[in-house]
Amino acid sequence: MDPDPLPADRRALFAECLHAHRGRLFAYVHALVRNLADADDVFQLTALALWRRFDTYDPTRSFLNWALGVARLEAATWLRTRARDRLRFSDDLTELLIEAFAAPTDREASDRRDALPRCVAKLPGGDRELLHECYQTGTDVAAVAARLGRSPSSVHNSLRRIRRVLFECIERTVARGARGTT
């Protein structure tokens, strides 16, 4: 049966908390299941689980830490029931990673997301095209490699290089912003 409805103020609090932390919660789930579509589903299931347990949430404690703990269990169940747990992290490590994903401040998380499109815009045209082809069109890396006459490992290597360039760009951008505001 559906859970008993919560008072309006609790519903509003739940919506606000989930909305505020959705980016890091989704990233944590994505890091555990590694497939974007799976992450979508696990996130949905996590949101339902959080709602069902929201009456046990202590608002004096971190919502994000609490939500990450629930997401960890949902992701583990998801991977286990689909026999995809051979290449997953141990429960101990996923618990340790909660701290790492919860560590950035809301401001820092927001700054990083804001920096991303600016860093993408700085990439050479060929790199942007490869990102577009592999991410935006959802084309399989092997198919992209075949079309380009390259090996899949070569395309993977290019994507890794681009990702690292973007990561370094974001780190520098956020660091500059932090220095500018202190």
Partner 1 sequence: MNDWTPSARLRDLIDAYLDGTVSAGDVAELEALLRADEGARTHFARYAQTHTDLALDLAASAAADRALAALPGPVSVPGTPRSPGPGRTWAARSVRLLVAASLVLGLSVGGGVVGLIAAQTGPRERPGPVARTLTLDFREPRAGTVADASGAGTGFTHRLPGTGSGLPARDPSLTLVPGGGLDVAATSSDLNTRYRLEQAEFPGVRLADLGFTGAEDFEVAAAVADAPAMAFVGQFGVYAGTSAEWATRGGLVSQRAADSFRQFVVNTRDGRDKDAYFIGLGATGDDLRVRLARVGGKFTVAVENRTAGTTSTLGTRHAEFLDGRADVVVGVFACDPRGTDRKAVRFSTFTATVWVPAGR
Task: Please report, as residue ranges, which positions from 73 to 112 form the binding site for partner 1 (by CB under 8 A).
Answer: 77, 81-82, 86-90, 92-93, 96-97, 99-101, 103-104, 109, 112
Q: Which is nearer to partner 1, 60 or 121 (CB)?
A: 121
Q: Which of 19, 60, 61, 125 binds partner 1 (CB under 8 A)?
A: 19
Query: Which residue in the block uniquely carries the two structure tokens 């990702």?
Result: 163
8 Å CB contact between 146 and 138: no
CB of 100 to partner 1, least distance (A): 4
CB of 142 to partner 1, least distance (A): 9
Left if phi > 0, otherwise alpha if psi is -120 to 50, otherwise beta: which for 104? beta
Site string for partner 1, 121-160 (x = CB under 8 A): x---------xx--xxxx-x---------------x--xx
CA 84 to chain centre: 19
How many C-alpha atoms does 100 have within 13 Å on its Cβ side? 8
Q: Which is nearer to partner 1, 91 or 148 (CB)?
A: 91
CB of 99 to partner 1, least distance (A): 7
| Buried residues in 101-117 as b, exposed as e (16+ CB within 10 A) | bbebeeeebebbeebee
Residues 43-62 that bind partner 1 (CB under 8 A): 43-48, 51-52
Those residues whose C-beta lies under 8 Å from the C-beta of residue 153, and which sit 6 or more positions away, are: none
